[in-house]
Amino acid sequence: EADIYQTPRYLVIGTGKKITLECSQTMGHDKMYWYQQDPGMELHLIHYSYGVNSTEKGDLSSESTVSRIRTEHFPLTLESARPSHTSQYLCASSAGQKLFFGSGTQLSVL
Amino acid sequence: GQQVMQIPQYQHVQEGEDFTTYCNSSTTLSNIQWYKQRPGGHPVFLIQLVKSGEVKKQKRLTFQFGEAKKNSSLHITATQTTDVGTYFCVKGSTLGRLYFGRGTQLTVWP
């Protein structure tokens, strides 16, 4: 099984707070992704990276930002959280086109 | 826009019945992947199909890639309660990005 870790697993915060969702993988994969998923719905790509210092926006407009300073680390930051950001955030990495997902962060913004 | 159409969106079956989900694309696919997401979990890779007309089996699961490489199906024989979850087909692109279908939520009644 793949080694990709997301923290925190659950996060409840107030509106206006700045938050960073962490994602790390130990497989040396160049490609990493952030997906957003609401309950029972499809996954929407919000950011992806093909390697260090490479980041791109995905298909779903997002107010979040990402960075890729190291191969293994791909954090996602929300500068000012809002209730509309409440969702599950899934991080993934890939070798070839096979995706390995972390366990996700369930974010609730009050 | 949606890259792959997946039907049905929901399927409820009695344990022991068969189940099929279909994935269709308006364009020729280079490959198609299938993932399973258990309730409360993250998507897990099941299989990748690459060749026209390809058929692969994993125990009670049969995956098929159409001759024209524009459609795919996942068939489960004699469903069990452990089959519960959402099944996603995923389209790959030449740029390495992956597009998820909306998924089929399978419920199995004991």
Nearest CA in chain A to B105: A40
A45-54, A55-64, A97-106: the lowest-pLDDT one:
A55-64
| Tens digits of residue pLDDT in A17-35 | 999 999 999 999 999 999 9
pLDDT value of position B94: 64
With cut-offs at 50, 70 and 90, classify the pLDDT of residue A2. Answer: low
CB atoms within 10 A of CB A56: 13
pLDDT value of position A16: 96
A60: pLDDT strictly greater than 90: no
* Phi/psi at B83 (5° precision): -80, -5
Q: Tell me the pLDDT of chain A averaged across its residues.
A: 93
Chain A neighbors of B92, CB-CB under 8 A: 97
* Spatial CB neighbours of B62, under 8 Å, sequence gap ≥ 6: B55, B56, B74, B75, B76, B77
| Cis amide prior to B8 (ω within 30 degrees) | yes
Q: Is the dihedral of CA A1, B36, A97, A22 positive or negative?
A: negative
Contact state of A48 with B97 under an 8 Å Cβ cutoff: yes
pLDDT value of position A66: 96
Provide the Cα torsion B52, B53, B54, B59; round to 10°.
Answer: 160
